[in-house]
Amino acid sequence: MNKMLSGAAVAALSLAFAVEAAATEWNVSVWGKRRAFTEHIEKLAELVSEKTGGEFTMNVSYGGLSKPKENLDGISIGAFEMAQFCAGYHRDKNRAITVLELPFLGVNTLEEEVAVSHAVYDHPAVKDEMAQWNARIIMTSPMPQYNLVGTGEPRDELAEFEGMRVRATGGLGQAFEAVGAVPTSVPATEAYNAMESGVVDTVAFAQHAHLSFGTINKADWWTANLNPGTVNCPVVVNIDAYEALPDAHREALDSSIDEAIAHYLANYGELLKKWDSVLEEKGVQKVMIDDAVLEEFRAKAADPIREKWIADMSAQGLPAQELYDLVQATLKQQRGGN
């Protein structure tokens, strides 16, 4: 009897070890607070847990693991297994994907933003560059075109951008610089304080970020149609951690990405529907920029910045023209063009 019990105990202990060995726990580094920008990550964690019966869990940390500008570094050394970052935070580390931050690319919808981002992420040059940081991009964080909030009188003429101190990163910062503004790339979490203290006059964000980081609460006006571009913020995983996943866990992760993105798009769509009521509630003037001003902005910012980007990146050995053409071809395909 004792031998039988011992055998049963050993079997139970072995099963316990097997279950423990099969469990996977990942730490995920993001910033700010839970918001539309992080909903696909939250959904991904939920789906992966469901599909694996709780054996694969993701702990999403809002600033507890790393500063926003250091997330890619954290991934590279395996400090955590998954992270979100924005290309404009460290353009030298992720040069190839900065094609997606060029101003006036012509992307009109979040669905188009997903399509062009994922097409670029799949390009060998992007994969090779990310591999240098032990990172694999698994999905984008699609955002609408950025627009400005500001205080005082609305800036709706290009001449009024001269000397304007604007929180804008990446290609957006270059676009505003091209028309005389002075961009600064403070992290999103510091934008409100920069606005409150007068370090910046205006802040360029997508709608969710103006809400989440409080800049809408300091604003007197918002540009509804400036639409100079957006930033690109991938979600990456540590390659070693990804490749070490049991097959069932990797399948659960890979198969959940499209559903997580679909959830993000639906959630963001609801936010956009109520945006006008948010402006009204907070007493923020909705400013429509004249078409002539927009054309002048494009002429000064779009073509020169694109051509310089292609020349600079080509000189660094990247297939810059090919990456830009891929964006345009993907847009055409999304719109049913031939």
pLDDT at residue number 170:
84
Q: How far apart are the first and last CA of the chain?
A: 77
Last residue of a domain, one of 240, 271, 302: 271
Last residue of a domain, one of 219, 243, 271: 271
Pair 60, 76 in one domain: yes
User: For residue 83, what are the β-bridge partners?
Assistant: 29, 236
Pair 61, 106 in one domain: yes
- pLDDT tens digits along 204-255: 999 999 999 999 999 999 999 999 999 999 999 999 999 999 999 999 999 9
Residue 237: inside a domain: yes
d(CA 212, CA 143): 14
Pair 68, 180 in one domain: no
Pair 179, 266 in one domain: no
Pair 258, 156 in one domain: no
Pair 39, 131 in one domain: yes
Residue 56 and residue 48 in contact, taking contact as beta carbons nearer than 8 Å = yes
Residue 67: inside a domain: yes
Q: pLDDT at residue 186 above 90?
A: no
Pair 294, 214 in one domain: yes
Pair 319, 205 in one domain: yes
Dihedral, 195, 199, 204, 206 alpha carbons, nearest 10: -40
pTM: 0.85
What is the pLDDT averaged over residues 54-63? 98
Q: Strands 235-238 and 82-84: what pairing?
A: antiparallel
Look at the block and give the residue holding tokens 């992966």. 48
Residue 167 and residue 190 in contact, taking contact as beta carbons nearer than 8 Å = no
d(CA 233, CA 231): 6
Q: pLDDT at residue 104 above 80?
A: yes
Residue 121: inside a domain: yes
Model confidence at 73, pLDDT cuts 50, 70, 90, reads very high
What percent of the chain shows pLDDT beyond 70?
Answer: 93
pLDDT at residue number 171:
87
Residue 226 DSSP symbol: -
The amino acid present at 136, given as its one-letter code, is: R
- pLDDT tens digits along 136-149: 999 999 999 999 99
- pLDDT tens digits along 167-185: 998 889 999 999 999 999 8
Residue 19: inside a domain: no
Q: pLDDT at residue 20 above 50?
A: no
Q: Domain total for the chain? A: 2
Pair 203, 300 in one domain: yes
Residue 5: inside a domain: no
pLDDT at residue number 3:
46
Last residue of a domain, one of 239, 271, 303: 271
The amino acid present at 122, given as its one-letter code, is: D
Rounded to the nearest 5 percent, the helix, strand and coil shares of the chain are: 55, 15, 30
User: For residue 221, what are the β-bridge partners?
Assistant: 150, 285
Pair 88, 199 in one domain: no
Alpha-helical segments (H) within the chain: 2-22, 39-51, 71-76, 110-121, 124-131, 170-178, 191-197, 207-212, 239-243, 247-254, 257-273, 275-282, 291-315, 320-334
The residue range of the domain holding 126 is 24-142+231-271
Model confidence at 7, pLDDT cuts 50, 70, 90, reads low
The CATH number of the domain holding residue 130 is: 3.40.190.170
Residue 277: inside a domain: no
Vertex 269, ends 126 and 292: CA angle to 5°? 80
Residue 44: inside a domain: yes
Question: Which residue from 208, 207, 241 is spatially nearest to 79, judged by alpha carbons?
Answer: 241
pLDDT at residue number 138:
98
d(CA 314, CA 331): 22
Pair 260, 299 in one domain: no
Pair 265, 288 in one domain: no
The Cα-based distances of 35 to 40, 42, 101, 259, 335 in angstroms read: 10, 10, 22, 18, 29
The Cα-based distances of 113 to 105, 249, 254, 320 in angstroms read: 10, 28, 20, 19
Residue 7: inside a domain: no
Q: pLDDT at residue 43 above 50?
A: yes
